[in-house]
Amino acid sequence: MLSNKTAESRKAPATRASNTPEQVTIKPQRMGFEFGEQVPQYWLDNSYFLSHMMNALSVLFPQGEQFFVDSVRAYRDQISDPKLKAEVRGFIGQEAMHSLEHVAMNQHVRDQGMPVEELEKHLEVVLGIAKKLPKRHQLAITCALEHMTAMMADMLLERSDVREDMDESMRPLWVWHAIEETEHKAVTYDVFQQVGGTYAERAFYQVFSTAALGVMASYFTGRMMLNDRKNFSLKDSARGLWRMWGRNGTFSSLIPTWLEYFKPDFHPWDHDNSELIARFKAEIQAHIAPQYQKGNRRTLQ
């Protein structure tokens, strides 16, 4: 039987407005990454398949993160707790910076002959359908996708084998993105809890969002591979799939964490990985472009 103290601690995530650790700050930072000839075409493990897959994920980010921001902004006026209100402002700012940096990366992908604009139009249609859902359902989708990005961010920061396989011209972007996804991983969830989000909504949209993300990411990857079919390699593709879904794969290893989302008392900070933020934060500061050393206040509209 749980003690009263333990029972109260188990209930805490559902009653407190913000559950982000005090040592974690959610502050947006423009980086000013540049992508040019220094970036090899196959920048992840020198792999045709894996590089196109990550490029495809990048194409999803700008519009996807605007959707996240809009879903949270719809409830911003209902949040009274000062700490959570400040975290919402930080979340919106960080997602704005992610969008700007991935727009720059996506231009680089477009310059390589990939159908980025066409894929963005397809994504706009899908998100347009999602925007017809009730506002709280849109927030539930955002919570689910934020859980998935937080899982991938944690994996990237934990696994040196994944980071080291990224070309050094691309690694800082993804490490920086992972740091900030970790910092704000609970914001949308805490907002969802505060505005009356239910377990049924959360669980349903975790399954729905995972399926939708899988379909869109696979389709985008396939389209990029088709555009680059002269370099298609069955061996490389098979190796990439095993790298993702085989034993201890980058994605297959995340399945237990994905399932944790279905625990009734789940909270993103049940897994406190804030030490990873401190470990990588100082390192990534060296990659801030000079013009952004003092920060950037531009946000998504």
Rounded CA gap, 59 and 219, in Å?
12
Q: Residue 166 forms beta bridges with which residues?
A: 44
Dump pLDDT digits (tens) for 91-102.
999 999 999 999
b/e per residue 85-97 (b: at least 16 CB within 10 A): bbbbbbbbbbbbb
pTM: 0.91
Helix (H, G, I), strand (E, B) or coil at 188: helix
pLDDT attached to residue 141: 98
Dump pLDDT digits (tens) for 165-212.
999 999 999 999 999 999 999 999 999 999 999 999 999 999 999 999
Dump pLDDT digits (tens) for 240-281.
999 999 999 999 999 999 999 999 999 999 999 999 999 999
pLDDT attached to residue 301: 40
- Confidence category of residue 231, pLDDT binned at 50, 70, 90: very high
Rounded CA gap, 297 and 55, in Å?
27
How many of the other CB atoms lie within 10 Å of CB of 63?
Answer: 15
DSSP string, 92-127: HHHHHHHHHHHHHHHHHHHHTT--HHHHHHHHHHHH
Residue 5 clears pLDDT 70, i.e. is over it: no
Average pLDDT over residues 219-230: 97
Rounded CA gap, 295 and 29, in Å?
6
Distances (CA, A) of 138 to 57, 121, 130: 20, 20, 7
Mean pLDDT of the chain: 92
Residues contacting residue 81 through CB under 8 Å, at least 6 positions apart: 17, 18, 194
Residue 294 clears pLDDT 70, i.e. is over it: yes
Structure tokens at 21: 């650790």
Rounded CA gap, 243 and 271, in Å?
25
Handedness of CA 172, 176, 179, 182 (dihedral sign): negative
